[in-house]
A and B are shown apart, each in its own frame.
Chain A
Amino acid sequence: MAFELDGRTYEVDEEGYLADLSEWNAEVAAYMAKEDDCDLDENHWEVINFLREYYDEYQIAPAVRVLTKAIGKKLGKDKGNSKYLYELFPYGPAKQACKYAGLPKPTGCV
């Protein structure tokens, strides 16, 4: 599967995750979000950028439990909880945010 954006073709897997994460850019994230009827604001970007940094450091996309704890440590308790993260990403914070971040589906995804 693939989609086209600004004259470029992006390969994705059957669940919509980007095949080659080096192709990722902010427009790709915004496009994927729009397909899900989701407008990315700065709170979404905070999580997406966090995930990209996490992947860069550990080479894995974190499970939702690990993401929640790590966000809490970095951005504060009011953001490091499932309610806040599910409001931003109703399809599941790790799954949905990882997709927009161009990462593979999280390891240990529940």
Chain B
Amino acid sequence: MSETKKFMYVNRHAPYGTVYALEGLEVVLIGAAFEQDVSMAFIGDGVFQLKQGQDTADSDMKNFSPAYRALGDYEVNCLYVERESLEERGLNEDDLMPLTWEDEDDDWAEKKSIHIVSRAQLSDLLEEQDVILNF
């Protein structure tokens, strides 16, 4: 197989108003089969995708938020959430789903997938990527 590339999926939309969030998540899950170095970033209204306690019963849409908990199974272990975007929306880390992954090389220890980063740190992370996909 050719060299591994760094892929970052940047999520900018709230989960249910458009199809961006669901389609983006599906692309991440499909792309995970190609064994690249995959991470996700959540900025702007995209941070709402990770909010705990989503309830879509009244909107007649499927609540796909449990699928984010499967990302660890797909070896997508790094979800960067921009601190400023959370603060601008009155949210903090405790409002987000406690997503984890299991480290096979560390006796399956459960580790946190979500990393809160500043706008400046995220800008550095974007700089490091080979491929950036926006949703």
Binding site for B on A (CB under 8 A): 57-60, 62-63, 65-66, 69-70, 107-108, 110
Contact = CB atoms under 8 A, between A and B. Distances in A.
21 contacts: A58-B67, A58-B69, A58-B70, A59-B62, A59-B64, A59-B65, A59-B66, A59-B67, A60-B67, A60-B70, A62-B70, A62-B73, A63-B29, A63-B32, A66-B73, A69-B73, A107-B30, A108-B29, A108-B31, A108-B74, A110-B33
A58 B74 CA distance: 12
Given A63-B74, A69-B73, A70-B73, A108 B66 contact: no
B26 interface: yes
Contact of A108 (B33, B63, B64, B65): B33
Nearest to B74: A66
Nearest to B65: A59
Contact of B66 (A57, A63, A65): A57
Nearest to B35: A65
A19 B104 CA distance: 36
Contacts of A58: 66-67, 69-70
Interface size class of B (residues with CB under 8 A): 10 to 19
Given A58-B70, A59-B67, A107-B26, 4 more contacts: A62-B70, A63-B29, A63-B32, A65-B33
Nearest to A106: B29
**6 closest A-B pairs (Cβ-Cβ)?**
A58-B70, A108-B30, A108-B29, A59-B66, A66-B73, A60-B67
Nearest to A110: B33
Contacts of A57: 66, 69
Contacts of B33: 63, 65, 108, 110
Contacts of B62: 59
B102 to A, nearest CB: 9
Interface string B28-60: 011111000000000000000000000000000
A62 B73 CA distance: 9
A63 B105 CA distance: 22
A14 B6 CA distance: 36
Contacts of A59: 62-67
Contacts of B70: 58, 60, 62, 66
A107 to B, nearest CB: 5
Contacts of B32: 63, 108
